[in-house]
Amino acid sequence: MKYLKTLFLSTFLALAFSCANDSTFAQSAGEEDDVVITTDDTDFEATDWTTETHSNDVDGDFDEVFEDGTVKRLDIVITEERWEAMLDDMTNLYGTFGSRGGGSSGFSDEDPVFVPGEVFYQDKEWYRVGIRFKGNSSLQSAWQAGILKLSFKLDFDEFEDDYPQIKNQRFYGFKKLSLKNNYDDSSMMREKVATDVFRNAGLVASHTAFYTVYVDHGDGPQYFGVYTLVEEVDDTVIDTQYVDNDGNLYKPDGDAASFASGTYDEDEYVKKTNEDEADFTDVANLLDVINDSSRTSDAEAWRASLETVFDTDVYLKYLAVNTVIQNWDTYGRMTHNYFLYNNPDTGKLNWIPWDNNESLQTGKQGGALSLDFSGLNSSTWPLIGCIYSDEVYRAKYDTYVQEVVDGPFETSAMQALYDSYSSLLEEYANAEVSGYTFLNSSSDFQSAVSGLKSHVSSRASAVSSYLND
């Protein structure tokens, strides 16, 4: 039955898009590069369009798109020529596919090219969706390892100027979504579980869900494997989790993202909202206050100044969760993978976690930070070092650490969750095929799940030792 369903879908998609396969393209420069349409493929009718599924007249349907306890399926259809344009662009950015020689030796400053393609979900079609590869180190590493299970970014009205039929197209109320490839995660759970722990701790964070992804780029649907669908912060996260979405949203990246003294650089405080307004006063003030000498001469005055520009309570709760679950690929080790949002309701910058696929493990490149941040250079990472060295903030942090292991990261509940997700995912994980998987053997998945269950137990012990030392 599964074979017949796949065969039917393959035939249907091939018929639906054979008329578009002769298009040719050229790349254009822009904030995010697109493929420019050079042949007329605009003569189509969006027959599956409904207000609830495709328009921007409805709020995001979180129950439909981010349903827990299930694995849903997305099909992406891209013409052969457009797929080749994507691969050629990746070759330009990162060198020959499957080779670690040539190309860029570091992260690319450019995003991969967007192309128009079709998305199918539960017998409905979304038209000329902007589709591109996404990621930094994970994208480069997978590409150079010869693995095509790459992360995707979907933007449902990216090409509305070329196709008026899709003006303000949405996917159940969502304009943009990320499909994370669960890079280097044999359990395929870490992105979702970590993000959910942040949310269950009462923090602002993305919704997530498990999906299988199939891509047809001319030869029928190819199984690309298990992905985690992630809500975009600059789309619905700030729209739905804050009273007001008009504040500055930053995605810092680079030395300035450390907030160390002397690192201020507006170019590295990348704005995702209000891009045309050259006002970076909020992040500039945070850098100045966190490094101010009054911290040691008048701690009470320093805390008062800090709390006028930065929501320290949100940050301390985030810091407790992030350090308990262990997440090395973010602030404290790396100058990326977080957002800052200036909440208009309070006038304070709020911390929002992002990109958690490297969490729930001891970590690489020096490993995750210890609960007491021993060995951390406070001048290099002042948002941790200066705050933790203050006795008032340290007491709040310690309280939140205990709350994390008593609540959203409680051992027995987490182990039960891992068992549940294991039963849910195992069939789809083991169905991944060579060239589209990070698994090396059929035992890798269950071994990784066992590792997660051991990890949560070890973290409870670590918290106990830290708080009772």
Positive or negative torsion for Cα 142, 195, 321, 347: positive
Amino acid present at 444: D
Q: pLDDT tens-digit profile of 117-173?
A: 999 999 999 999 999 999 988 999 999 999 999 999 999 999 999 999 999 999 999
Residue 318 lies in a domain: yes
Q: What was the pLDDT predicted at 76? A: 98
pLDDT category at 37 given cuts 50, 70, 90 is low
> Does 40 have pLDDT greater than 80?
no
Identify whether residues 319 and 230 lie together within a single domain: no
Identify whether residues 234 and 251 lie together within a single domain: no
Amino acid present at 141: S
Mean of per-residue pLDDT scores for the chain? 92
pLDDT category at 34 given cuts 50, 70, 90 is confident
Residue 422 lies in a domain: no
Residue 468 lies in a domain: no
pLDDT category at 38 given cuts 50, 70, 90 is low
Residue 458 lies in a domain: no
Positive or negative torsion for Cα 178, 340, 246, 263: negative
Q: What was the pLDDT predicted at 7? A: 40
Identify whether residues 53 and 199 lie together within a single domain: yes
Q: What was the pLDDT predicted at 4? A: 36
> Does 11 have pLDDT greater than 50?
no
> Does 56 have pLDDT greater than 50?
yes
Neighbours of 450 (CB within 10 A): 13
C-alpha span between 128 and 37 (Å, rounded): 11
Q: pLDDT tens-digit profile of 170-179?
A: 999 999 999 9
Ordered DSSP codes for 80-123? HHHHHHHHHHHHHHH-STT-SSSS-SS--SSPPPBEEEEEEETT
**174, 209, 240 - which closes a domain:** 240
pLDDT category at 107 given cuts 50, 70, 90 is low
Give the residue, 26 or 163, on which the prediction is more confident.
Answer: 163
Q: pLDDT tens-digit profile of 297-333?
A: 999 999 999 999 999 999 999 999 999 999 999 999 9
Q: What was the pLDDT predicted at 300? A: 98
Residue 427 lies in a domain: no
**183, 218, 240 - which closes a domain:** 240
pLDDT category at 5 given cuts 50, 70, 90 is very low
The whole-number average pLDDT for the span 25-30 is 40
Q: What was the pLDDT predicted at 17? A: 43
Q: What was the pLDDT predicted at 88? A: 97
Q: What was the pLDDT predicted at 33? A: 72
Q: pLDDT tens-digit profile of 263-282?
A: 999 999 999 999 999 999 99
The whole-number average pLDDT for the span 83-87 is 98
Q: What was the pLDDT predicted at 10? A: 44
Q: What was the pLDDT predicted at 20? A: 41
Domain with 309 in it: 243-406
Residue 74 lies in a domain: yes
Identify whether residues 222 and 322 lie together within a single domain: no
pLDDT category at 30 given cuts 50, 70, 90 is very low
Q: Which two tokens stand for residue 136?
A: 């930094």
Let me know the angle formed at the C-alpha of 73 by 72 and 78, rounded to the nearest 5 degrees: 155
The whole-number average pLDDT for the span 398-405 is 98
Residue 444 lies in a domain: no
Helix H or strand E segment including 35:
strand 34-37
